Amino acid sequence: GYIGDLCRMGILGEPDAELEDLLAQVEAVQQAAFSKVRAGAQGGDFIVHAEDTLKALPVAPFTDFFAHGMGLISHEAPFLMTNHPVTYEGVDAAHPLETGMVISVETTMLHPKRGFIKLEDTLTVTDDGYTMFGERGRGWNRGGRS
Q: According to the model, what pLDDT value does residue 21 have?
A: 99
pLDDT one digit per residue (tens) for the chain, 146 residues? 678 899 999 999 999 999 999 999 999 999 999 999 999 999 999 999 999 999 999 999 999 999 998 876 677 777 776 766 666 777 778 899 999 999 999 999 999 999 999 999 999 999 999 999 988 999 999 997 65
Q: According to the model, what pLDDT value does residue 146 have?
A: 54
Q: What are the angstrom distances between the C-alpha of 96 and each of 25, 46, 54, 99?
A: 28, 11, 23, 10
Q: According to the model, what pLDDT value does residue 94 have?
A: 87
Judge whether 27 and 6 are in contact, CB under 8 Å: no
Looking at domain 9-143, does it have CATH number 3.90.110.10? no
Predicted structure pTM score: 0.91
Say how many C-beta atoms besides its own lie within 10 A of residue 43's C-beta.
26
DSSP calls for 38-59: STTSBTTHHHHHHHHHHHTSTT
How do the domains of the chain map onto residue ranges? 9-143
Computed on alpha carbons and rounded to an integer, the radius of gyration of the chain in Å comes to: 15
Q: According to the model, what pLDDT value does residue 62 have?
A: 97
